[in-house]
């Protein structure tokens, strides 16, 4: 029985349904990161030249500070027990500038750590007003000065907009605290409105395409879809040919897709681990993510560069859509890229890296780097037809590009003054997205999605524009 073909309208409806399903899945995975972003202001006062005051029933220690965030993620203060078995209760309160208590928690003094941080869990996930002063108040009860614990403060430190007071009298220094905040994001509360607007725009455009197709009109998108439908067999054959040719007469064959990233990672790990391993969490995984992404970029652009020139005999004899050749080279490299993800998963398991639901966001980064490489291949292949020196220049540019990408080093070593230029590298955004999803187990902030989309789409549009403008003159220069 002949299988019924899906109509164009049915395909558009399926695409629209897929969009809304992905919107729901994205919210389920990344909802928290769409509402909050880690604040730049982080308060941390370690112990150094420290002092301590006993917190019995007659003494109160107060530390005021100015906060710029919208939510307190964690708050801890350092306690001192003098190495003895104390008794009584220590009470911690967080109050606003008007004196209203926002959070309070009590601790048994005999369970407090000696010279260690005590988490103020009652203040976690507490909404606050940005740009206001708050007070952390510590006091004790049911104890004596000989059996009371203390809070540790640093005598030379200060907190922004803060003052340290003991029984209402100011004293020099700042309480040893560790405080992290988050800033509220506009995108989270408006996620569904934004997703709905994009969905309506997509539905309107698909409806427009359906009307165009029904009326027999042509356009860029419809022409591309028709060409893909007509030449998909040729595209599949070219992808298979490129992939098989890569390992022709090789003893290990396709196993090199697994071995190449592992061997590259091993060499770079030996060279750079002593330099960066203390600064980077799970350095083998960090390194391998950068290696597999850059290897795909380097291979696909290198193969795409020669795609039109190498197929000159075919182009001069029969009509074939010329963009199929760079597209097939990138897709064959993408198959190799997908195989290289297997060693990455193996290294994840070996190193004990915990996989979270954010791992499901990895296909977004893969799709963006694929689109980016497709644009670069179109751009380079068109330039190569007219300027054969491009192949030699590209060898130098790819080396510079490798060192400009955080493959084996942390981005923190880049001076802040150069970060704006540094972030113009599209690979930086794709690799950073993948590392946040895998290593940190969280979704990147909303703007990271936008940066990845722009870094992928802009090169693709530039590549398409140059390729379309010059393709009619390819035959004269091959």
User: pLDDT of 345-396, one tens digit each?
Assistant: 888 888 888 888 899 999 999 999 999 999 999 999 999 999 888 888 998 9
Among 26-30, 258-262, 344-348, 452-456, the range with the most confident prediction by mean pLDDT is 452-456
Give 386-443 pLDDT, tens digit per residue. Answer: 988 888 899 899 999 998 998 888 888 888 888 888 899 999 999 999 999 999 888 9
Listed in order, strand segments (DSSP E) in 352-425 are none
Residue 108 has pLDDT above 70, yes or no: yes
User: Is-contact 357 32, C-beta < 8 A?
Assistant: no
3-class secondary-structure state, position 50: strand
pLDDT for 212: 87
Q: Residue 71 and residue 403: Cα distance in Å, rounded?
A: 38
Stated as kind and residue range, the H or E segment containing 2 is: none
Number of residues assigned to the chain: 478
145 against 361, higher pLDDT? 361
Q: What is the CB neighbour count within 10 angstroms for residue 440? A: 13
The percentage of the chain sitting over the pLDDT mark of 90, rounded to a whole number, equals: 40
The radius of gyration of the chain's CA atoms, rounded to the nearest angstrom, is 30
Q: Say what the pLDDT of residue 427 is.
A: 95
User: SS3 for 390?
Assistant: helix
Cα(289)–Cα(283) distance, rounded to whole angstroms? Answer: 10
Contacts of 447 (CB under 8 A, 6+ apart): none
pLDDT tens readout for residues 155-181: 888 888 889 999 889 988 899 999 999
164-166: strand order across its sheet = 101-108, 89-96, 132-141, 60-67, 164-166, 169-171
What secondary structure does DSSP assign to 401-420, as a single string?
HHHTS-SSS-GGGS-GGGHH
pLDDT at 119 over 90: yes
> Is residue 20 very low, low, confident or very high in pLDDT (cuts 50, 70, 90)?
very high
Q: Assess whether pLDDT exceeds 60 at residue 2.
A: no
**Residue labelled with tokens 């195989």:** 339
Q: Which long-range contacts (CB under 8 A, 24 or more apart) does 250-255 make?
A: 254/339
Q: What is the pLDDT of residues 47-101, one digit of tens each?
A: 666 677 788 878 899 999 999 899 999 999 999 888 888 889 999 999 998 889 9
Residue 275 neighbours by CB under 8 Å, 6+ apart: 409
What is the average pLDDT score of the chain?
87
Residues 6 or more apart from 348 whose CB is under 8 A from it?
285, 355, 438
Task: State residue 1's pLDDT score.
Answer: 43
Write out pLDDT tens, residues 236-280. 888 887 777 766 666 566 666 666 777 777 776 776 666 665 567
pTM higher than 0.85 for the full model?
Answer: no
pLDDT at 56: 85
């Amino acid at each position: 029985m002949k299988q019924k073909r899906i109509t164009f309208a049915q395909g558009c409806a399926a695409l629209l349904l897929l969009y809304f399903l992905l919107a729901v899945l994205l919210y389920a995975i990344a909802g928290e990161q769409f509402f909050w972003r880690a604040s730049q202001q982080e308060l941390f006062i370690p112990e150094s030249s420290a002092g301590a005051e006993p917190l019995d029933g007659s003494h109160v220690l107060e530390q005021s500070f100015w906060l710029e965030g919208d939510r307190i993620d964690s708050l801890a203060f350092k306690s001192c027990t003098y190495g003895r078995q104390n008794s009584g209760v220590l009470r911690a309160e967080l109050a606003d500038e008007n004196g209203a208590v926002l959070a309070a928690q009590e601790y048994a003094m005999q369970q407090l750590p000696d010279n260690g941080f005590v988490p103020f869990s009652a203040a976690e996930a507490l909404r606050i007003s940005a740009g206001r002063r708050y007070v952390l108040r510590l006091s004790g009860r049911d104890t004596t000065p000989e059996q009371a614990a203390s809070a540790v403060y640093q005598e030379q430190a200060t907190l922004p907009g803060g003052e340290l007071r003991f029984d209402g009298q100011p004293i020099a220094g700042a309480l040893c605290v560790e405080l992290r905040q988050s800033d509220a994001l506009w995108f989270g509360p408006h996620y569904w409105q934004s997703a709905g607007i994009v969905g309506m725009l997509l539905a309107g455009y698909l409806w427009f395409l359906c009307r165009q197709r029904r009326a027999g009109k042509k356009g860029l998108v419809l022409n591309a879809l028709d060409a893909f439908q007509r030449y998909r067999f040729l595209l599949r054959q070219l992808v298979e040919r490129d992939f098989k040719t890569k390992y022709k007469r090789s003893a290990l064959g396709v196993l090199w897709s697994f071995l190449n990233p592992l061997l590259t990672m091993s060499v770079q790990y030996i060279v750079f681990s002593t330099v960066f391993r203390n600064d980077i969490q799970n350095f083998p995984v960090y390194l391998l993510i950068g290696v597999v992404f850059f290897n795909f970029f380097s291979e696909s652009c290198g193969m795409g560069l020669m795609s039109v020139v190498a197929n000159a005999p075919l182009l001069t004899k029969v009509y074939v859509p010329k963009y199929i050749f760079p597209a097939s080279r990138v897709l064959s490299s993408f198959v190799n890229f997908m195989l290289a993800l297997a060693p990455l998963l193996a290294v994840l398991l070996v190193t004990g890296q915990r996989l979270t639901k954010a791992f499901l966001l990895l296909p977004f980064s893969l799709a963006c780097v694929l689109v980016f490489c497709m644009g670069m291949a179109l751009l380079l292949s068109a330039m190569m037809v007219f300027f054969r020196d491009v192949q030699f220049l590209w060898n130098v540019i790819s080396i510079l590009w490798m060192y400009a990408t955080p493959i084996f080093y942390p981005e923190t070593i880049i001076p802040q003054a150069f970060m704006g230029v540094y972030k113009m590298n599209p690979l930086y955004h794709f690799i950073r997205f993948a590392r946040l999803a895998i290593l940190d187990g969280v979704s990147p902030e909303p703007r990271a999605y936008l940066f990845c989309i722009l870094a992928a789409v802009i090169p693709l549009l530039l590549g398409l524009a140059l390729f379309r403008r010059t393709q009619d003159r390819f035959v004269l220069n091959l």
